[in-house]
């Protein structure tokens, strides 16, 4: 009875203010490099609201990450899917993705600065509450989000989805201002147990408010349907882990943005 | 706007059917041992609903575990806080708690059978959907819940809150029928990393659908306010991890009971 009435009333509520997704490609610069990100919000929510920076996989800014930005908009946030590589630049193949992401993996200062340029775009939006901004990312994007936080960026939260948790700057974890949620495939061969353990130790030593979730049966890229379904390749979609990690992220955002449920 | 309307309508919905907690002490037997558990449901929910078996800490069946049963009832479940030790039997102190729980830790067949007697009480309730029963427990109770599942009990899910994840019967994990969620304090000295790793390997080998969450800064007993707040003792309350683990449990139950949110 209570289930039913709550559901009906929620449906009525949704009907009263239908979702109205608004998206925009945003061209911006980091130094001389021209970048193009993707901004999304839902006009059926009003007033200033939390902002979420979304960082793409090593393949570059693509439809997958834009879809995630739209899903975040539907939750009531302003989402900005930044661009690390350059306007229209996406990796041609796996080797190219490795080469493009390695530029940043080997130069963490550049990684932080390039991501910060994207964060600035989000901060400038008039409908964003600058005190409630989080960063999240997938694979390479998880690494970037964490590195941005290690650089001391004003983030209330960071979420890594199957990100590489390793860093050459473990001592910088003391600069992390927000909470950290790492969502990890328990069978991910690209982020092996030793890396996870080192990450936990890094967070522990720095006194960060952290949480790590391991999804049994999940490997790398578990949130991305484009990764296929063969765990043996080390990267595969896992619908169960995808749904659970998205829910974990939603719960985390409710907490870090201090919203009422 | 959408936030507001949904919130208001939910409030209206709650007003229409106020919570009506119904509890009952239930005396039952396992062999010749007389036990007394605590049954709770909320009469504002109607019809058959999922059942949740709740297993107490090593201190025995006490007000803490009855409170948890009431909280589960408020979520719309029928909760039964079983009794492992005997009617009115609670540990006098830490040594007594260790002695009482060790009886079961050293006799896993007895542990499973005693817990199964509690499960039978829950199954027999006319308002319980026998196909949707989960078990959960705290510390020793987490161990018991997992062991019950390893024995092949008909459970769609098991949740361990800071439970000892070790078992002498790792091979029995193949009998686990439901999903498993282990909620763990990352600094728990009583359930050290080697035990956690062995548990992960056990679940992996058996092909269980499992998930493990590590809460940074949390030690043993993180859900129980009675544990005090001194992490140095190895057991302490952690409000943050308490709230997060309860939310993780709620999400998990929604999934395993296949309810619509």
Tell me what pLDDT residue A17 has: 67
pLDDT of residue B19: 84
Percent of chain B with pLDDT over 70: 92
Task: Quick: pLDDT tens for B224-259.
Answer: 999 999 999 999 999 999 999 999 999 999 999 996
Once rounded to an integer, what is the mean pLDDT over residues A221-231? 96
Query: Residue B7: its pLDDT value, please?
Result: 47
* pLDDT-based confidence at residue B163 (cuts at 50, 70, 90): very high
Average pLDDT value for residue range A6-32? 75
- Give the residue on B whose Cα is nearest the Cα of A183: B213
Residues of A in contact with B14 (CB under 8 A): 2, 6
Note whether B209 contacts A9, CB cutoff 8 Å.
no
Shortest Cα distance, chain A CAs vs residue B248, angstroms = 8
Nearest to B5 among A13, A208, A259 (CB): A13
Does the ipTM exceed 0.85? yes
Q: Do B17 and A3 touch (CB under 8 A)?
A: no
Average pLDDT across chain B, whole number: 94
**What percentage of chain B exceeds 90 in pLDDT?**
91
Work out the minimum CA distance from A190 to partner chain B, whole angstroms.
Answer: 18
Average pLDDT over residues A234-238: 97
Q: Which residues of B touch A (CB under 8 A)?
A: 1-3, 5-7, 9-10, 12-14, 16-17, 44-46, 76, 180, 186-187, 193, 197, 200, 203-204, 207-217, 240, 243-244, 247-248, 251, 255, 259-260
- Which pLDDT tens digit goes with each residue over B104-135? 999 999 999 999 999 999 999 999 999 999 99
* Amino acid A14: pLDDT: 46
Alpha-carbon torsion (B58, B62, B67, B72), positive or negative? positive
Helix (H, G, I), strand (E, B) or coil at A58: coil
Q: What pTM was computed for the model? A: 0.93
The predicted pLDDT at position B18 comes to 78
Structure tokens at B17: 């059917």
A226 Cα to chain B: minimum distance (Å): 23
pLDDT digits (tens, 9 = 90+) for B28-84: 999 999 999 999 999 999 999 999 999 999 999 999 999 999 999 999 999 999 999
Of A2, A197, A210, the CB nearest to B13: A2
Which residues in chain A have their CB less than 8 angstroms from residue B203's CB?
216
Mean pLDDT of chain A: 94
pLDDT of residue B17: 67
Tens-place pLDDT, residues A214-224: 999 999 999 99
Q: Does position A98 have pLDDT exceeding 90, yes or no?
A: yes
Give residue B94's pLDDT band: very low, low, confident or very high (50, 70, 90): very high
Distance (Å) from the alpha carbon of B66 to chain A's nearest alpha carbon: 23
């Amino acid at each position: 009875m209570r289930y039913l009435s709550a559901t009906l009333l929620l449906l009525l509520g949704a009907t009263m203010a239908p979702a109205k997704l608004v998206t925009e490609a945003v061209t911006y610069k980091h130094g001389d490099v021209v970048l193009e990100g993707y901004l999304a919000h839902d006009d059926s929510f009003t007033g200033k609201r939390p902002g979420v920076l979304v960082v793409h996989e090593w393949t570059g800014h693509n439809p997958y990450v834009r879809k995630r930005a739209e899903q975040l908009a539907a939750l009531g946030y302003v989402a900005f899917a930044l661009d690390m590589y350059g306007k229209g630049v996406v990796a041609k193949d796996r080797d190219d993705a490795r080469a493009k992401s390695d530029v940043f993996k080997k130069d963490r200062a550049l990684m932080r600065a390039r991501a910060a340029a994207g964060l600035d775009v989000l901060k400038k939006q008039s409908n964003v509450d600058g005190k409630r901004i989080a960063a999240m990312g997938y694979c390479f994007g998880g690494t970037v989000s964490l590195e941005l936080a290690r650089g001391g960026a004003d983030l209330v939260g960071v979420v890594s989805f199957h990100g590489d948790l390793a860093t050459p700057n473990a001592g910088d974890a003391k600069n992390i201002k927000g909470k950290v949620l790492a969502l990890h495939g328990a069978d991910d061969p690209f982020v092996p147990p030793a890396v996870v353990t080192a990450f936990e130790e890094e967070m522990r030593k720095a006194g960060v408010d952290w949480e790590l979730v391991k999804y049994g049966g999940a490997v790398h890229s578990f949130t991305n349907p484009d990764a296929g379904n063969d765990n043996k390749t080390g990267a595969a979609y896992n619908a169960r882990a995808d749904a659970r990690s998205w829910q974990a992220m939603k719960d985390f955002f409710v907490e870090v943005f201090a919203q009422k449920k």
